[in-house]
Amino acid sequence: MQIPLDKICVKSGVLCDKCKAKIDSGKYQGWEVDVMRALLNLESNFRELKNASYRKSVIVGDTLYIVLDNVTVVSRQLARALEKELSSLNIRRIFVVPGSNDPRKLIESLLPSQVLSVNTYYAPDGSTYYIAKLPSNERWRISELEQSTKAVFKSLSGSDLYIEYENVTVPGRPRDLEESKIDKTKLSDVLRRIGS
């Protein structure tokens, strides 16, 4: 397990000047030392941590996102063990996210949805932002994660993320049936016929 601070400093809780400078500069938060310590404590029990490299942690609401590089699959048991180790942070849930420099892969690791496309836009002020297009039929699954995904993405990439939803044709199902909505009068007629 690789971490950006000295392992002895993190394990002891007493930071050297070099480690303090990284915290004071704002690159890492003071509470992230606790996260790094918890990861080091669990390294021998979870094989996915052996070659992992700590990138960043972000707290959004009562959820902690821990981003690790060189990790492809993360077990739910690891998140549970981290929840016990980090109970002092008063967080409800922990997600361990595989890190990536590819915006699409990062979005896919943060959302439980298929990402149809990711477009990069360059604003006149020189900033970059991304628009991720997701299937509209998955909006119900994603809506509560949308704000936290945007916050984590911004913290890791420095760029804003916007999410749009597109209607997608399901194979074997006519598009007009997918998009059609029954209005109230038709529904009333149908219900009246069923009742009589």
| Number of other CB atoms surrounding residue 163 within 10 Å | 22
DSSP-derived 3-state class of residue 36: helix
pLDDT single digits (tens) 82-106? 988 888 888 888 888 888 889 999 9
Provide the whole-model pTM.
0.76
What share of the chain in percent tops pLDDT 70? Answer: 86
DSSP, res 43: T
171 — pLDDT class (breaks 50, 70, 90): low
For the chain, domains (ranges, CATH) are 1-99 (no CATH), 101-196 (3.30.300.20)
**What pLDDT does 138 receive?**
85
How far apart are alpha carbons 91 and 61 in whole angstroms? 8
Percentage with pLDDT > 90 across the chain: 41
pLDDT reading at 176 higher than 70: no
Of the candidate ranges 68-72, 175-179, 183-187, the one whose mean pLDDT is the lowest: 175-179
Mean pLDDT of the chain: 85
Q: At residue 173, does pLDDT exceed 60?
A: no
Residue 79 has pLDDT above 70, yes or no: yes
The answer to whether residue 185 scores a pLDDT higher than 60 is yes
